[in-house]
Amino acid sequence: MAQSATPYHFKVTLSDVDRGVYEALDLRPARHPSESLRYLLLRTLAYSLSYEPGIAFSKGGLSSVDEPPLNITDASGVLRAWIEVGSPSAERLHKASKAAERVLLYSAAELQNLKQAASSRPIHRLDAIEVYRLEPSFLDRLEPEIQRTTTFELVRSSGVLYVTLWGKVHEATLENCRLTP
């Protein structure tokens, strides 16, 4: 019998000073059976840090090769942003860049590894892909604190993230980088 997705409930108080976005988010992502908790956490952070009207978790789930983990559509349903998480292949980034006017990637992978993967084939508008990188140690600190129902505060100010979880503040730099040399 196939395992089903596990629902999570995240209440996020978002204060994104860098973008001027202040929201109370009530997120209910489903964790796919093959998805690690770290990936779910990174997906949730990517959603919060990219928040704008029209953002959504993928309808097809993580098993869909034709959909991004997160997307932003306008009121007419046109895909405006494809948001990737983790270490996508060059082929996937190429597809994303042809499908949407904006492509964002949130990752904890080494930048050199991301660049090497991206150089394995031509990628449409590679220089326009926005890459946001977190140190793996930041996710290492957050991951054990995540429960199926979790409330946290997320502040981004001058490229630094502050996550307050269970009364403890975790800090990390959100590195904005490019995949081009």
Residue 80 lies in a domain: yes
Residue 156 lies in a domain: yes
Residue 1 lies in a domain: no
**pLDDT (0 to 100) of residue 63:** 65
Which range of residues forms the domain containing residue 58? 6-177
Contact 103, 90 (CB under 8 A): no
Q: Average pLDDT for residues 42-60, to the nearest whole number? A: 94
Q: Is residue 69's pLDDT more than 60? A: yes
**pLDDT tens-digit series, residues 76-117:** 999 999 999 999 999 999 999 999 999 999 999 999 999 999
What's the whole-number average pLDDT of the chain? 94
Q: How confident is the model at residue 157 (pLDDT cuts 50, 70, 90)?
A: very high
Residue 17 lies in a domain: yes
Q: Is residue 146's pLDDT more than 60? A: yes
**pLDDT (0 to 100) of residue 61:** 60
For 7, 121, 163, the CA distances from 26, given in Å and listed in that order, are 13, 39, 16
Residue 30 lies in a domain: yes
Domain harbouring 149, CATH code: 3.10.640.10
**pLDDT (0 to 100) of residue 45:** 98
Q: How confident is the model at residue 1 (pLDDT cuts 50, 70, 90)?
A: low
**pLDDT (0 to 100) of residue 28:** 96
pTM score, two decimals? 0.95
Task: Compute how many other C-beta atoms are within 10 angstroms of the C-beta atom of residue 164.
Answer: 14
**pLDDT (0 to 100) of residue 2:** 60
Q: How confident is the model at residue 62 (pLDDT cuts 50, 70, 90)?
A: low
Computed from CA positions of residues 17, 86, 94, 127, in that sequence, does the dihedral angle turn out positive or negative?
positive
Pairing state between β 70-73 and 21-27? unpaired
Per the document, the length of the chain is 181
Domain count, the chain: 1
